[in-house]
């Protein structure tokens, strides 16, 4: 497994990161067997994935607890990335949130501590200052952000505090960050950690039409606002989304590589991308996803994937919020 050196830190992260949200079940993930979750985490480590992304918000600390149980004895061999929610961005609240995370993770330090979403109600410079204090105290080793757009990235740069990463939704079906956020991150040397890299199964070929996608997975702006769990006000682009999926599937078949593995590998070829965050509900899923780290994509295939997905990119536009018309990515 290749690694990536995060800037302003001594962290060497694996280029595939295990995402620890789905392993707690609930929300739109459905029921989850704890034994499968523990096996998935351990299998990820065995496959060479040494970086694990979690958050207090994932199951109210349950995800952090599971990670500690599964790999507590491997603590010095793994990188833990966790997150604080925007309600905790006031400096005193951030310190308390970090202490809760340390307790949940049963550790005395978090490797990468991230701000989960922007919060314009609290001065970002104050929050970044608190992160630096946590780093100076040895509570965290580095800090990053998540879902930060151009305005927030500007503030980070102007504050004088050095962020090590920006976690963003990015995949073949959702390329919004390419308009302005990714170029700015490249210019500022802030690498991207990609979440939702296979679009909750859409990029594995699991669904063959929009009607097969359950409402709890059809909340994104790809789907009509008429879907019951939608939070946006758009008509969606369902037909174009599935035309695009069909094209990716055809290219995958020609390359004799699974659609999911090609989708994950494509991200690792993109300039400015440090890693892709992909989960797994059981050991078999993890092994399948981990194989993408060994996939080689030719320039011709990369160009074909770009051409196949560009119309959908243009239809969805530069709004980097996967779920809302009124973008929270600022």
CA–CA–CA angle 16, 18, 20 (5° rounding): 155
Task: Choose the catalytic residue: 58, 113, 143, 195.
Answer: 58
Structure tokens at 320: 């980097």
Cα pseudo-dihedral 263, 201, 81, 100, rounded to 10: 170
Rounded Cα distance between 130 and 107, Å, is 20
User: Is the separation of the CB atoms in 175 and 319 below 8 Å?
Assistant: no
**Residue 78, helix vs strand vs coil:** coil
Rounded Cα distance between 100 and 109, Å, is 11
Q: What is the DSSP secondary-structure string of 188-239?
A: HT--EEEESTTGGGGGGT--SSGGGS-GGG--STTS-TTSTT--S-S---HH
**Residue 122, helix vs strand vs coil:** coil
Residues with Cβ < 8 Å from 228, sequence gap 6 or more? 215
Residues with Cβ < 8 Å from 278, sequence gap 6 or more? 16, 17, 18, 19, 197, 198, 264, 289
Q: Is residue 58 annotated as a catalytic residue, yes or no?
A: yes
CA–CA–CA angle 147, 153, 156 (5° rounding): 115
Residues annotated catalytic, as ranges: 58
């Amino acid at each position: 497994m290749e690694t990536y050196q995060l800037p302003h830190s001594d962290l060497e992260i694996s280029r595939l990161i295990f995402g620890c949200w789905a392993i707690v079940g609930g929300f739109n993930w459905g029921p989850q067997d704890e034994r499968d979750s523990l096996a998935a985490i351990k299998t990820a480590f065995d496959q060479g994935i040494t970086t694990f992304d979690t958050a207090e918000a994932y199951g109210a600390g349950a995800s952090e607890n599971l990670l500690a149980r599964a790999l507590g004895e491997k603590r010095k061999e793994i990188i833990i990335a966790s997150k604080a929610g925007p309600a905790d961005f006031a400096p005193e609240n951030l310190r308390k949130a970090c202490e809760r995370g340390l307790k949940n993770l049963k550790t005395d330090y978090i490797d990468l501590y991230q701000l989960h979403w922007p919060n314009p109600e609290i001065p970002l410079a104050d929050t970044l200052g608190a992160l630096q204090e946590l780093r100076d105290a040895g509570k965290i080793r580095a800090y990053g952000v998540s879902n930060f757009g151009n305005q927030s990235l500007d503030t980070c740069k102007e504050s004088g505090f050095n962020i090590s990463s920006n976690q963003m939704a990015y995949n073949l079906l959702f390329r919004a960050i390419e308009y302005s956020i990714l170029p700015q991150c490249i210019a500022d040397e802030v690498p991207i950690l990609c979440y939702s890299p296979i679009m909750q199964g859409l990029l594995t070929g699991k669904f063959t039409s929009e009607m097969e996608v359950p409402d709890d997975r059809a909340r994104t702006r790809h789907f009509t606002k008429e879907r019951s769990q939608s939070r946006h006000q758009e008509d969606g682009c369902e037909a174009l989304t599935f035309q695009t999926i069909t094209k990716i599937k055809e290219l995958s078949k020609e390359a004799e590589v699974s659609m999911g593995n090609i989708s994950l590998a494509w991200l690792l070829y993109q300039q400015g991308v440090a890693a892709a965050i992909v989960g797994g509900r059981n050991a078999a899923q993890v092994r399948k996803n981990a194989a993408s780290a060994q996939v080689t994509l030719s320039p011709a295939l990369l160009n074909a994937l770009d051409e196949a997905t560009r119309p959908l990119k243009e239809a969805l536009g530069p709004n980097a919020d996967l779920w809302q018309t009124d973008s929270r990515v600022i």
